[in-house]
Copies of this chain bind each other. A is one copy, B any other.
Amino acid sequence: MTIDNSSDRSGHGTQSTDAESARAADRSVGRPNPSRRSEQSRRAILTAARELVSELGFAKLSIEAIAARAGVGKQTIYRWWGSKGEVVFEAFLALSDPGEGIVLPDSGDLETDLKYLMRETVAEFADPAFEGPVRALNAEIINDPKLARLYHEKMAAPVDEAKKERLRSAQRAGQLAPDLDLDLALELLYAPLYQRWLLRSGPLTPEYADSLVDLTLRGLRP
């Protein structure tokens, strides 16, 4: 429910204003009235959540600690969010909000661009500031289908769409089979990389990224 509120806030998939949806929620009994919600507390909670998940990791993070750091009563968190996961997710979401559209480099040569992208991803995975929160989020996703859906809709989808746009451009340039399933193609490229990092199933080097692109493109070309 809370996360629905947050989605209203970002305005995806609905034309209703904040004020309207607040009034709508008001009609359903037993729920707090969002129009009365303290924006200051909300921001303090999300900031505290972000900081703490970096300092302690997701597992050792407690609602109690978030409330204390944010200078907020525990009930204020429980009132608006359903779980630790939801709070942290919304905190990440606010942080990673890309503003508007993502555009990937397009040099005209797909192989060059992909190798660049994949090497960049490898570098990103090696960043310790990225490591903790993203691992935490993924661990939660594994056990929480609701969170998984949210993640794919709000965080993964925009990035994936940008990547697919680049692939479509390659299709138009005759560098990819015209009937290629782009979702599948993306998975072929990224899943091995992601899995190596997430499950630590092997070393993650720029050379590995290159091999992956080479081998995959052999299957994807017309």
Q: Which partner residue on chain B sits nearest A200 by CB separation?
A: B148
A3 lies within 8 A of chain B by Cβ: no
A119 lies within 8 A of chain B by Cβ: no
Does B143 lie within 8 Å of A199, measured CB to CB? no
Contact with B along A5-44 (1 / 0, CB 8 A): 0000000000000000000000000000000000000000
List the B side residues contacting A149 at CB < 8 Å: 200
Instruction: Identify which of A140, A196, A216, A220 gathers the most chain B CB atoms within 10 Å of its CB.
Output: A216
A61 lies within 8 A of chain B by Cβ: no
Chain A interface extent, by class? 35 or more
A139 lies within 8 A of chain B by Cβ: yes
Q: Select one of B135, B183, B217, B219 contacting A216, CB under 8 A.
A: B219
A206 lies within 8 A of chain B by Cβ: no
- Given the complex of chains A and B, what is the CA–CA distance between A100 and B194 in angstroms? 31
User: Given A184-B215, A219-B215: A143 and B139 within 8 A (CB)?
Assistant: yes
- Given the complex of chains A and B, what is the CA–CA distance between A181 and B152 in angstroms? 31
User: Given A191-B195, A194-B195: A211 and B142 within 8 A (CB)?
Assistant: no
Contact with B along A133-153 (1 / 0, CB 8 A): 001101111110100110110
A192 lies within 8 A of chain B by Cβ: yes
Nearest CB in chain B: distance from A136 CB, A: 7
Nearest CB in chain B: distance from A137 CB, A: 10
Name A154-179 residues within 8 Å CB distance of B.
156
- Given the complex of chains A and B, what is the CA–CA distance between A141 and B216 in angstroms? 27
A72 lies within 8 A of chain B by Cβ: no
Q: What would 15 A/B residue contacts be, using CB atoms closer than 8 Å? A: A135-B143, A138-B142, A139-B139, A139-B140, A139-B142, A148-B201, A156-B201, A184-B215, A187-B195, A188-B215, A192-B192, A195-B195, A215-B219, A216-B219, A217-B219
**A191-B191, A195-B195 are known contacts; what are 19 more A-B pairs with Cβ within 8 Å?**
A59-B143, A138-B142, A139-B142, A141-B199, A145-B200, A152-B200, A183-B202, A184-B208, A184-B215, A187-B201, A187-B202, A188-B188, A191-B192, A191-B194, A192-B192, A215-B219, A216-B219, A217-B219, A219-B220
